[in-house]
Amino acid sequence: MYYPREEKRDFLSTLSTLSLIAIVPLAILALMSNHGATALFMLLGSQQAQASITEIQNTPNPDLNIITYRYDVDGTSFTDTYTQNKQHDPSAYAINDTIPVIHSTWSPSTKMMQAAYDTSDADAKVFVGCSTAILLLLALSFFALIRQRKHAAEDIYY
Per the model's pLDDT, the better-predicted residue between 147 and 93 turns out to be: 147
Predicted local distance difference test score (pLDDT) of residue 158: 67
Antiparallel, parallel or unpaired: β 46-58 and 98-104: antiparallel
Distance between CA atoms of residues 132 and 31, nearest Å: 14
Predicted local distance difference test score (pLDDT) of residue 127: 94
Distance between CA atoms of residues 45 and 54, nearest Å: 27
E-strand spans in the chain? 46-58, 64-73, 76-85, 98-104, 111-113
Straight-line distance from the first to the last Cα atom of the chain, in angstroms, rounded to the nearest whole number: 15
99 class by beta-carbon count within 10 Å (0-12 exposed, 13-18 middle, 19+ buried): buried
Give the CATH fold of the 45-106 domain: OB fold (Dihydrolipoamide Acetyltransferase, E2P) (2.40.50)
On the question of pLDDT at 109 being above 80, the answer is: no
| Cβ atoms of 79 and 64 closer than 8 Å | no
Average pLDDT over residues 110-139: 90
**C-alpha triplet 113, 42, 45: angle, nearest 5°:** 125
Average pLDDT over residues 50-77: 86
Predicted local distance difference test score (pLDDT) of residue 14: 94
DSSP one-letter code for 60: S
Digit-coded pLDDT (tens) for 18-41:
999 999 999 999 999 888 888 888
Predicted local distance difference test score (pLDDT) of residue 60: 84
Max alpha carbon distance in the chain (Å)? 81
On the question of pLDDT at 1 being above 60, the answer is: no
Digit-coded pLDDT (tens) for 136-154:
999 999 999 999 999 888 8
Which percentage of the chain shows pLDDT scores above 90?
Answer: 28
On the question of pLDDT at 128 being above 80, the answer is: yes
State the average pLDDT for the chain: 87
Task: Please tell me whether residue 6 adopts helix, strand or coil conformation.
Answer: helix
Per the model's pLDDT, the better-predicted residue between 36 and 17 turns out to be: 17
How many Cβ atoms sit within 10 Å of the Cβ of residue 43? 14
